[in-house]
């Protein structure tokens, strides 16, 4: 059990013991608490670092874009919460720096188109893949990405591309997974 799971478990047990008749199960409470802990750390630290580097608004835009697309389409996860936190914070704070070199409309267009194609081919991923209406998830993710064809934001194009890359999966041994 990792540190975030232990902390969430401890908090969930305390909350559950304070009101054992509540309809929410202990595992559901634990999952929700762990999700809140991890996302709070990522958002807070990313924005603090972004502020120190005077790019908080761009980091915030990358956060919103990435998280919105991820909420709709899903994506692969790291096996360790620490790896997830560190990689995500670094990525969100690198996006504005990379965006400085991706200002041309052809680069923005290519990244946005690449994101759209990845979404169409690989979404949904994770728990969302059990939903029978895959085409609805693909359409919703595609609609979010398509907005950048009008906005032409380098920050959005990179954030969308990074999130869409987490959708990539390959079938093992020809089985239908």
The contacts found for 44-52 with CB under 8 angstroms, 24 or more apart, are: 45/85, 45/89, 46/88, 46/89, 46/92, 46/93, 49/89, 49/93, 50/92, 50/93, 50/96
pLDDT digits (tens, 9 = 90+) for 110-144: 999 999 999 999 998 876 656 677 888 899 999 99
What is the pLDDT at residue 177?
Answer: 36
- The count of other CB atoms within 10 Å of the CB of residue 92 is 27
Sequence spans of domains, the chain:
3-165
pLDDT digits (tens, 9 = 90+) for 51-104: 999 999 999 999 999 999 999 999 988 888 889 999 999 999 999 999 999 999
Evaluate if residue 173 carries a pLDDT over 60: no
- Give the closest residue to 96 by CA, choosing from 38, 157, 39: 157
């Amino acid at each position: 059990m990792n540190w975030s799971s232990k902390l969430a478990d401890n908090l969930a047990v305390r909350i559950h013991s304070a009101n054992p008749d509540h309809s929410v199960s202990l595992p559901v409470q634990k999952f929700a608490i762990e999700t809140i802990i991890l996302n709070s750390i990522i958002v807070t630290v990313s924005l603090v670092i972004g502020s120190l580097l005077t790019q908080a608004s761009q980091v915030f835009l990358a956060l919103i874009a990435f998280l919105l697309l991820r909420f709709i389409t899903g994506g692969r996860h790291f096996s360790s919460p620490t790896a997830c936190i560190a990689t995500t914070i670094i990525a969100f704070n690198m996006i504005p720096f990379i965006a400085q070199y991706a200002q041309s409309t052809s680069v923005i267009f290519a990244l946005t188109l690449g994101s759209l194609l990845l979404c169409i081919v690989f979404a949904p991923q994770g728990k969302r893949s059990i939903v029978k209406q895959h085409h609805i998830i693909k359409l919703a993710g595609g609609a979010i990405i398509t907005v950048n064809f009008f906005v032409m934001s380098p920050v959005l194009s990179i954030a969308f591309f990074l999130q869409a890359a987490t959708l990539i999966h390959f079938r093992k041994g020809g089985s239908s997974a």
